[in-house]
Amino acid sequence: MPLYEYQCSGCDERFEALQRIGADGKDLTCPACGKPKPDKVFSTFAAGSVSHGAAQSAAPAPHSCRSGGFG
């Protein structure tokens, strides 16, 4: 099940809810103020959890920008 992000129109609280695909959130209430039917918001997703330091210390890809990208 995907994780959807919602925002309360009453107190502007943003929160996430694990729901079925295509869920509209009409059955949800704001966890902060209790107002029903929060608004679904568009959010970005994270593809992994690589820290900034780990990304810098990794070896460059075989076709990195320094090689011109042709191989």
Categorize the per-residue pLDDT at 50 as very low, low, confident or very high, splitting at 50, 70 and 90: low
Structure confidence by residue, pLDDT tens digits, 25-42: 899 999 999 999 999 998
What local confidence, expressed as pLDDT, does residue 22 receive? Answer: 82
Pairing assessment for the beta strands 3-7 and 39-41 based on DSSP bridges: antiparallel
Q: Please give the Cα distance from 42 to 49 (Å, whole number).
A: 20
Q: Please state, in angstroms and rounded to a whole number, the distance separating the CA atoms of residues 39 and 14.
A: 9
The sheet carrying 14-18 orders its strands as: 14-18, 3-7, 39-41
User: CA 3: distance to chain centroid?
Assistant: 8
**8 Å CB contact between 17 and 30:** no
The answer to pTM > 0.85 is: no
pLDDT above 90 (res 9): yes
**For residue 54, is pLDDT > 60?**
no
